[in-house]
Every structure is written in C-alpha cells, then in structure tokens.
C-alpha cells in the first residue's frame, strides 16, 4: 500500500467524511500527547488529511495529520501513520453520526478590495479623487506599461492616476516613471499625477509631494456606497 492511499472504506477519495464520535486520541511522534475520552468531530478531507475537533477553538483542531498519511480503520479504532513514523491512534467508544459528502471544486478565495476592484470603483467615481475629474481610459498604455487611469481635470489637463491597496515609495516611483513617459506625448503634456491608495505610508507622501504628485487616501466602503468619512487629501 502506498503512503498516499486513504484506507477508510466509508470515504470516497473525492469526498469529505465527518464523524461525530466519543473517542480518545493518542499521538506518538516528535512528542507524545493524549486526549482523554470525549465526544469530538473527526474530519477526513479528500486530500487525505485528518483532523480532530472539539466544540471550541474555532477552526483550530486538537490534533491532526497532513498528507501523505495512511488511515487504517478497525472496528474500534483508527490508526493514522506517516512515512516519518508519526502515529495517531483514535480509539472509538461510540459513533454518533457518520456522513460523507462531495464538496466539488472550490473556486478559491476572492479577495475584496484588491487593486483591480479599487481601480474599477475609482474609474466609475473619478470625482472622489479630484473635483471635475473625467475618465479618459483605464489601463492607458505607455512604453513601460499601463497607468491605471488617464483622466482630464476640469480645465482639460491630463491627469495620470496610479492605484494601490497599500501606498509605498515604490508605488510613487512607478507613477513618476509613467508621468515621464506620458509627458513625451505632446497631446497630453503636461501630465500631473494622483497617487491613490487605501493607506499611504508617510515616506511615500513625502516623496510624492517632492515630485508634485497629489496623494489621496480612499475609503473602500465609501466607494461602495457606504456612508463613512469623506476622502482625505494630502
């Protein structure tokens, strides 16, 4: 039998198995540990991992084994072992519930408020960056890469906007390089810059001010239509 095999007859390889059982648990490996008899949740995931949970500690298990591990189920105990010689013995007095379920493919975590979404929100609400600002184009190309937003202000002057979730010196320097390239275009010159982020570090504000760039800290919830403090200009 290969170490990657999952030897639990009730659990299909693509399913998660949830067992509520009165059990004790003994770990033998880098150290020894013992969980006395109590009712716990045993969870076997499709990747072959097993974890033992109590009704507290939120997500953190009392004990666990990561794959590759071998799980052998006997009538009154499960024995979990790894190639490194670690062993987890779950001695079962009574099983109260035993459920298998296929979860399917998980799409992964979709982060809220990342730069792409901030760009989308600011493109739709340019006036939160400066009064009278009008969007010309998102991802306006230069020969060293696209600037996030190209806009025109109330006087028709070109404004380049670089957007970050966390504003640091590197972000300001990136905008400076874009401004240098955009200023080569006679149709746009002179181009001023706005550096927008949820939080801008003090050093970045100092550098931006020295380069004639306006910093704007944006509130993500405000952009989504939630009433909060107004944007702060520096």
Q: What is the CATH number of the domain that holds 79?
A: 2.70.180.20
Same domain, 93 and 121: no
Residues of the chain with pLDDT under 50: 1-11, 109, 111-112, 226-230
What's this model's pTM, rounded to 2 decimal places? Answer: 0.51
Q: Indicate if 226 and 173 belong to the same structural domain.
A: yes
Identify whether 95 is part of a domain. Answer: yes
Domain final residue pick, 67, 101, 135: 101
Residue 24 and residue 121 in one domain: no
The H-assigned helical ranges of the chain are: 115-124, 169-182, 202-210, 220-223
Q: Does residue 8 lie in a domain region? A: no
Are 88 and 184 members of one domain? Answer: no
For 158-190, b/e burial (b = at least 16 CB within 10 A) is: bbbbbbbbebeeebbebbbebbebbeeeeebee
**184 shares a domain with 143:** yes
Determine the pLDDT at residue 24: 97
In a domain, 140, yes or no: yes
Q: Residues 122, 215: one domain?
A: yes
Range of the domain at 207: 115-233
- Does some domain include residue 165? yes
pLDDT at 13: 52
Q: Rounded CA gap, 156 and 158, in Å?
A: 7
Based on the fold, state whether residues 63 and 131 are members of the same structural domain.
no
CATH number at residue 155: 3.40.1350.10
Q: Is residue 128 part of a domain?
A: yes
Distance CA 45, CA 50 (A): 6
Q: Which of 32, 66, 101 is where one domain is finished?
A: 101
Report which of 162, 150, 153 is spatially closest to residue 131, judged by C-alpha positions.
Answer: 153
Based on the domain organization, do 96 and 175 belong to the same domain?
no
Task: Please state the domain count of the chain.
Answer: 2
* 119 plus 229 within the same structural domain: yes
Q: Give domain status of residue 7, yes or no.
A: no
Tokens standing for residue 59:
């997500």
- Quick one: pLDDT at residue 116? 77
Residue 187 lies in a domain: yes
229 and 121 inside one domain: yes
Please name which of 67, 72, 13, 22 lies closest in space to residue 42, comparing C-alpha atoms. Answer: 22
Residue at a domain's end among 72, 101, 130 = 101
pLDDT at position 143, please?
85
Is residue 224 located within the same domain as residue 171?
yes
pLDDT at 109: 46
Q: Is residue 1 part of a domain?
A: no
- Token pair 């390239």 is found at 181
At 48-59, the pLDDT tens digits run 889 999 987 666
36 and 86 in a single domain? The answer is: yes
- pLDDT reported for residue 2: 41
pLDDT at 229: 47
Q: Sort strands 147-152 and 214-217 into parallel, antiparallel or unpaired.
A: unpaired
């Amino acid at each position: 039998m290969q170490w990657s095999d999952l030897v639990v007859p009730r659990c299909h390889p693509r399913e998660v198995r949830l067992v509520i059982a009165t059990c004790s648990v003994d770990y033998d490996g880098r150290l020894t540990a013992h969980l006395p008899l109590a009712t716990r949740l045993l969870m076997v995931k499709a990747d072959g991992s097993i974890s033992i949970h109590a009704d507290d500690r939120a997500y953190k298990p009392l004990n666990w084994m990561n794959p590759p591990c071998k799980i052998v189920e006997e009538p009154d105990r499960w024995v979990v072992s790894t190639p490194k010689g670690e062993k987890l013995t779950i001695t079962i007095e009574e099983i109260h519930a035993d459920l298998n379920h296929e979860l399917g493919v998980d799409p992964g975590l979709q982060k809220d408020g990342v730069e792409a979404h901030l760009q989308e929100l600011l493109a739709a609400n340019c006036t939160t960056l400066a009064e009278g600002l009008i969007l010309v184009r998102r991802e306006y190309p230069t020969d060293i890469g696209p600037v996030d937003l190209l806009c025109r202000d109330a006087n028709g002057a070109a404004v380049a906007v670089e957007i970050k979730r966390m504003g640091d010196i590197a972000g300001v320097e990136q905008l400076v390089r874009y401004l240098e390239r955009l200023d080569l275009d006679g149709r746009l010159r002179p181009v001023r810059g706005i550096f927008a982020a949820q939080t801008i570090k003090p050093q970045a504000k100092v550098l931006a001010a020295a380069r004639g760039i306006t910093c704007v800290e944006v509130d993500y919830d405000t952009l989504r239509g939630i009433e909060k403090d107004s944007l702060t200009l520096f």
